[in-house]
Amino acid sequence: MRAKWIWIPLVGAAVAAACGVGHAIFVVDVLSFIKGSGQDTLPYYVPPGSVSASNKPQRIRLPGAAASIVDSVTVVGTIDIQNQAGSGSIGLQLYIAADSAGSYQNSALALNVPAKPVAGAAIVHDTITGRLAPGVDSLFRHDEVWFRLQATGTNGGATLMQGRAVLQSIQLTVVIDDKIF
């Protein structure tokens, strides 16, 4: 019985050490909020020139950090660009705001994933990685945020480029600076 009680403080110390002194780390699986809703897929139709296509804003519920300071927010994910016809390039932009309408504002741009070249009927695997724009970090103190994905494309050819960008994974890691332990 006594051995069990010794493990409890050791486990608590390990959790506190893993988070760091005064830091809490939350991992938000964004894909779990949109998988199966059709919002994990962005169809694109790019005539010669440039164009963009986006999904509807989606709400993510968070634990909320209230008066805490959000130290940083990073994103890691993967996307498959499933081109069906034409050639050019497809990129991705992530917008985050306090409400759905705000996710359409230029100031809500949180991350810009560089465009990848695509041609013909092919699948291009891409990685989404980076740190979100500093102005967006403070939104994670609230109990919800709204995000919207936008695919951007360029087509230098003479025929329509079309396909879809399908999210395979996307996670946000939120580091909060506060003395919660």
Domain boundaries, the chain: 23-177
Find, among 148, 149, 147, 141, the residue nearest to 174 by Cα: 141
Q: In this predicted model, which residue has the larger pLDDT, 168 or 134?
A: 168
**Single-letter code of the amino acid located at 134:** P
Q: What is the mean pLDDT of residues 72-90?
A: 91
Gap between the Cα atoms of 181 and 25, Å rounded:
12
pLDDT for residue 14 is more than 60: no
Q: How far apart are CA 157 and CA 48, in angstroms?
A: 6
Across the range 135-149, mean pLDDT stands at 81
Choice between 143 and 83, residue whose per-residue pLDDT is larger = 83
How much is the pLDDT for 1?
Answer: 38
> Could you name the CATH architecture of 23-177?
Sandwich (2.60)
The Cα 112–Cα 108 span in angstroms is: 11
Q: Evaluate if residue 67 carries a pLDDT over 70.
A: no
**Residue 2 reports pLDDT greater than 50:** no
| pLDDT tops 70 at residue 179 | no
Give CA–CA dist 10/17, Å, rounded: 10
Average pLDDT on 79-89 reads 93
